[in-house]
Amino acid sequence: MTAQYKLSTIADFLAVPPESIDACLADFKVWLQLARRPDEFSADMNDLLATEGALSFVDDSFIWLDDGLSGVHHVQIVDASNDSEIARISFGDQP
């Protein structure tokens, strides 16, 4: 099973195994790029899903999957009220 880490504070990164920290930080860098343009990201997602104004980027945490794959392969959109998945957008041929 793929390990999952919810990273909300710097201290949370201590839970990531030392052998996985480089992969985690590489993916976190991608998340930071999205977090620096939340309005643009939200608009893109609303356009893609035809949900004008319904989605917003939440930047209070980063959920990282230690899946052994290099790079970000999907973005998961969840309902903040109950954590249920609304959509999963995959990039490339990865799961």
Question: Could you give the C-alpha distances from 21 to 16, 79, 91, in angstroms and in order?
Answer: 6, 28, 22
Number of domains in the chain: 1
Residue 56: per-residue pLDDT = 62
What is the model's pTM? Answer: 0.71
By C-alpha distance, which of 60, 55, 66 is closest to 31? Answer: 60
Which structural domain, as residue segments, surrounds residue 36? 3-90
Question: Would you state the structure tokens that stand for residue 40, as one six-digit string?
Answer: 């643009």
Residue 38: per-residue pLDDT = 67
The 3-state DSSP class for residue 95 equals coil
Q: Encode pLDDT of 27-67 as tens digits.
A: 999 888 878 886 777 777 777 767 666 666 666 788 899 98
Kindly write down the DSSP assignment for every residue of 14-28, as one continuous string: GGS-GGGHHHHHHHH
Q: Does residue 95 belong to any structural domain of this protein? A: no
Q: Does residue 37 belong to any structural domain of this protein? A: yes
